Amino acid sequence: MAAVMIPIDPDKKDDVYYRYKMPALQCKVESSGNGVKTVLPNIHEVCAAINRPEDVLMRFFQFDLGAQTTISKKDDKYLIMGSRQEEQMQQSVYSFIKKFVLCGQCKNPETVVHYDAKKKSVTKVCGACGKETKWEANRAYTTMYMYYKDHPEEATAGKGTAEARKRSCCCTAPTAAAAASAEKKATKTVIAASDLKDDRKDRSRCL
């Protein structure tokens, strides 16, 4: 079942013009021999919308809800121990968003994580107003830092939210545009090879 689309910023739930949406986190309770667990079937979509890694969000659930989480990469299954209600899980997603996604100044969700190897820190940088926000050093922050320390390539300024990636072209941020056009070029090659009549070649160009 398709998830309901909800605002990324919980304070915008009454604003019909607010355009940053994400799917509500879905929960499926499963019980097996070793207890009751809650599966999070659409965590990828939620994480793509907020542009943060699943691993970090799962760790955050661990602190925020005091429950063990498991990621089975093999079956692509994201689990949290116990029976969880969607409402409670969504509240936790919103706590994460308020801390780690929304810009500290303008509350825009199009922020990217900036990893500074020299300073040994991560910050969030807003794509709308340019503000760099530091985080309080706590366990959740440490998780974030450790993740980006191991995956520095994911903390680049060119990576926006799913929405930013969709609409990025050479008129917007140059790094995002470069990444997007490189992606499109790769797709184009495949299309051109498999379908010579394809006329989509020029679509990726900026008008």
Q: Write down the least CB distance from residue 155 to Zn ion, Å.
A: 17
Rule CB under 5 A: say whether 112 interacts with Zn ion: no
Count of residues near Zn ion by CB under 5 A = 8
Nearest to 90 by CA among 29, 141, 144, 26: 26
Rule CB under 5 A: say whether 114 interacts with Zn ion: no
Q: Is the Cβ of residue 116 or residue 132 nearer to Zn ion in the bound state?
A: 132
| Binding test (CB under 5 A) with Zn ion, winner from 12, 21, 131, 149 | 131
| Binding test (CB under 5 A) with Zn ion, winner from 72, 83, 105, 187 | 105
64 and 3 Cβ atoms separated by less than 8 Å: no
56-81: b (≥16 Cβ within 10 Å) or e: bbbbbbbebbeeebebeeeeeebbbb
Rule CB under 5 A: say whether 129 interacts with Zn ion: yes
147-179: b (≥16 Cβ within 10 Å) or e: bbeeeeeebeebbbbebbbeebeeeebeebbeb
Rule CB under 5 A: say whether 126 interacts with Zn ion: yes
Rule CB under 5 A: say whether 179 interacts with Zn ion: no
Rule CB under 5 A: say whether 103 interacts with Zn ion: yes
Q: What sections of 42-173 are H helices per DSSP? A: 43-50, 54-65, 86-100, 139-150, 162-167
Q: Which helix (H) or strand (E) holds 77?
A: strand 77-81
Q: What is the largest CA-CA distance in the chain?
A: 58
Q: Write down the least CB distance from residue 131 to Zn ion, Å.
A: 5
Q: Write down the least CB distance from residue 170 to Zn ion, Å.
A: 23
For residue 153, the 8-state DSSP code is: G
Rule CB under 5 A: say whether 71 interacts with Zn ion: no
| Binding test (CB under 5 A) with Zn ion, winner from 26, 42, 108, 168 | 108
Rule CB under 5 A: say whether 101 interacts with Zn ion: no
Q: Which residues bind to Zn ion, rule: CB under 5 A?
A: 103, 105-106, 108, 126, 128-129, 131
